[in-house]
Chain A
Amino acid sequence: MTIPVDLMYARSHEWIKIEGDSVSVGISHYAQDQLGEVVYVELPEVGTAFAVGDELGTLESVKAVSEFLAPVAGEVLEVNTRLEDEPNLVNDDPYGNGWLVKLSGSAEGGEFLDAAGYKEFLEQESA
């Protein structure tokens, strides 16, 4: 279970990466593993504004539908359109090509764990 140290993690299993005014959002390796093979990704429209905890979109495996949430408040700057044809990127490369959306804004207002904190959180969850 990989947990890169250069990212921050929400307790709802999204990761964020801040680059200037843009916040990239994806789901963790643990989350994609729990979900199983992703076959469909529903992404928000560019320009839509979200508050922390709003449903940003959905990820579907053959067996289940699960939402992913906005870990920070902001407007959608960009979505990963590659996922339309290659939803499995969420499984194969959750921290890289499997990113979901980029939001405007900062980590302010969100609650995040660093890699060590998230690792501990997962251990507690599975205990």
Chain B
Amino acid sequence: MVEFAGFELPVQYTSLTEEHHAVRTRAGLFDVSHMGEIAIRGPAALDFVQLISCNDHQKMTVGRAQYTGIMYPEGTFVDDTLVHKMADDEFLLVVNAANRHKNVAYLTELAANFDSADVVDLSNNFAQLALQGPLAEEILQPLTPENLGELKYYRFIEGDVMGTAAIIARTGYTGEDGFELYVAPSAAPGLWREILDRGQPHGVLPAGLGARDTLRFEAGMSLYGNDIDNTTTPLEAGLGWIVKFKKGDYIGRDVLERQKEEGVERKLIGFEMNERGIARHGYPVLLAQDDTEPVSYVTSGTQSPTLGKALGMAYLPIEATEVGTEFFVQIRNRTAPARVVELPFYSRKKV
């Protein structure tokens, strides 16, 4: 167990790799109740969300979820978040646990100058269970009267699971199909047990923080604090698809617009080690083997359980980001060669 943002979280229940493979091939159940939930409410809720986010939420209909970044004026990340449109005058932002209080403080201050938009921290009202994997729908369907087959990716419904009110969202952080269920904390333990029970014939496993990290990593999904933070912009992080300019003004827009126009100086890339060795978070990155000063540091890196290779992510100067470019990672007392590869490392076959 590790302490994380005030929660005790298991790194693994049985074996990290077994849990990882269960999610890729069958299903895994994560308790991600530590995630924060912040509601933006009021007649100006949309205007407020448009102000703080680099994505465009204008056309979202109720029941849709959209990924975005909450921006500083520098065009860097306060956090990355999933925005859920609950109603015309209400959005629910699911944020990183470690950033919950920072987000609430930042948004509340902004809302003070904003008529008719309120920021409400609902984190204590929600537990979150994520059932992820190709068999997720089959396992969850008997527990709910809602027709899950009709629920498309990045949509959600407010419905019923085991007789309890739940937000059922077809979203996730693993690169597999699956659901994120938001329920009252008191309902979570029963739901947890029931899903594991019902899922047992399907090979479902409880999965911990360790597998969550390797799964999202293989899928090329950024982790705040590793791959993105308050010094990186979405354009540098390869998240240009969440940066929109065909919308009104928003925080950080001018910086992002300039960066888009002039081109970024560095970019987050995926890499594979050319020699044995595992590059991990924080290891120095060198452009040439005998360089004495690192050009950057590995943001995430591990042995990929699905692909069986040592893979990593790092920021490199734009001229070194082409696929195939060779560079070096300092692994303890040696410098090991690596090369730029395409992100994501893994993507599921869509049916």
Chain A residues engaging chain B, CB cutoff 8 angstroms: 36-37, 39-40, 42, 58, 60-63, 65, 84
Question: Do B17 and A37 have beta carbons less than 8 Å apart?
Answer: yes
**Contacts A58-B332, A63-B210; is A36 near B278 (CB within 8 Å)?**
no
Closest Cβ of chain B: how far from A82's Cβ, in Å?
14
In the assembly, what is the distance between CA of A36 and CA of B11, in Å? 11
Q: Is residue B124 contacting chain A, with contact meaning CB distance below 8 A?
A: no
- Size class of the B contact interface (CB-based, 8 Å): 10 to 19
Of the residues B276, B305, B332, contact of A62 by C-beta under 8 Å: B305
**Best-buried of A36, A40, A61, A62 by chain B (most CB within 10 Å):** A62
In the assembly, what is the distance between CA of A40 and CA of B310, in Å? 9
Report chain A residues within 8 Å CB of B214: 62
Question: Do A62 and B303 have beta carbons less than 8 Å apart?
Answer: yes
Closest Cβ of chain B: how far from A101's Cβ, in Å?
17
Question: Do A62 and B16 have beta carbons less than 8 Å apart?
Answer: yes
In the assembly, what is the distance between CA of A40 and CA of B302, in Å? 11
Report chain B residues within 8 Å CB of A60: 278, 303
25 contacts between A and B (CB under 8 A): A36-B12, A36-B15, A36-B17, A37-B15, A37-B16, A37-B17, A39-B278, A39-B303, A40-B303, A40-B310, A58-B332, A60-B303, A62-B17, A62-B20, A62-B210, A62-B214, A62-B302, A62-B305, A63-B11, A63-B12, A63-B16, A63-B210, A63-B302, A65-B280, A84-B276
Closest Cβ of chain B: how far from A53's Cβ, in Å?
17
Cβ < 8 Å to A, chain B residues 292-309: 302-303, 305
Closest Cβ of chain B: how far from A33's Cβ, in Å?
10
In the assembly, what is the distance between CA of A60 and CA of B310, in Å? 11
Main secondary structure of the interface of A (DSSP, over half): strand
In the assembly, what is the distance between CA of A63 and CA of B277, in Å? 14
> Considering the complex of A and B, which 10 residue pairs feature the smallest CB-CB distances, nearest first?
A39-B303, A63-B210, A37-B17, A62-B16, A40-B278, A60-B278, A62-B303, A63-B16, A62-B302, A36-B16
In the assembly, what is the distance between CA of A84 and CA of B275, in Å? 12
Closest Cβ of chain B: how far from A57's Cβ, in Å?
10
Contacts between the two chains (Cβ within 8 Å), count: 36
In the assembly, what is the distance between CA of A37 and CA of B18, in Å? 10
In the assembly, what is the distance between CA of A61 and CA of B213, in Å? 14
Q: Please, which residue of chain A has its CB at the minimum distance from the CB of B280?
A: A65
Report chain A residues within 8 Å CB of B276: 40, 84
In the assembly, what is the distance between CA of A39 and CA of B273, in Å? 14
Report chain B residues within 8 Å CB of A39: 278, 303
Q: Please, which residue of chain B has its CB at the minimum distance from the CB of A63?
A: B210
In the assembly, what is the distance between CA of A65 and CA of B277, in Å? 11
Report chain A residues within 8 Å CB of B280: 65
* 0/1 string, B156-181, CB within 8 A of A gives 1: 00000000000000000000000000
Report chain B residues within 8 Å CB of A65: 278, 280
Closest Cβ of chain A: how far from B283's Cβ, in Å?
10
In the assembly, what is the distance between CA of A121 and CA of B210, in Å? 29
Report chain B residues within 8 Å CB of A36: 12, 15-17
Closest Cβ of chain B: how far from A50's Cβ, in Å?
14
Report chain B residues within 8 Å CB of A62: 16-17, 20, 210, 214, 302-303, 305
Report chain B residues within 8 Å CB of A40: 276-278, 303, 310
In the assembly, what is the distance between CA of A92 and CA of B337, in Å? 30
Report chain A residues within 8 Å CB of B17: 36-37, 62
Q: Please, which residue of chain B has its CB at the minimum distance from the CB of A65?
A: B280
Question: Do A61 and B277 have beta carbons less than 8 Å apart?
Answer: no
In the assembly, what is the distance between CA of A60 and CA of B276, in Å? 12
In the assembly, what is the distance between CA of A39 and CA of B1, in Å? 22
Cβ < 8 Å to A, chain B residues 1-45: 11-12, 15-17, 20
Extra 20 A-B pairs, beta carbons < 8 Å, given A42-B277, A62-B302: A36-B12, A36-B15, A37-B16, A39-B278, A40-B278, A40-B303, A40-B310, A58-B332, A60-B278, A60-B303, A61-B16, A62-B20, A62-B210, A62-B214, A62-B303, A62-B305, A63-B16, A63-B210, A65-B278, A65-B280
Q: Please, which residue of chain A has its CB at the minimum distance from the CB of B308?
A: A39
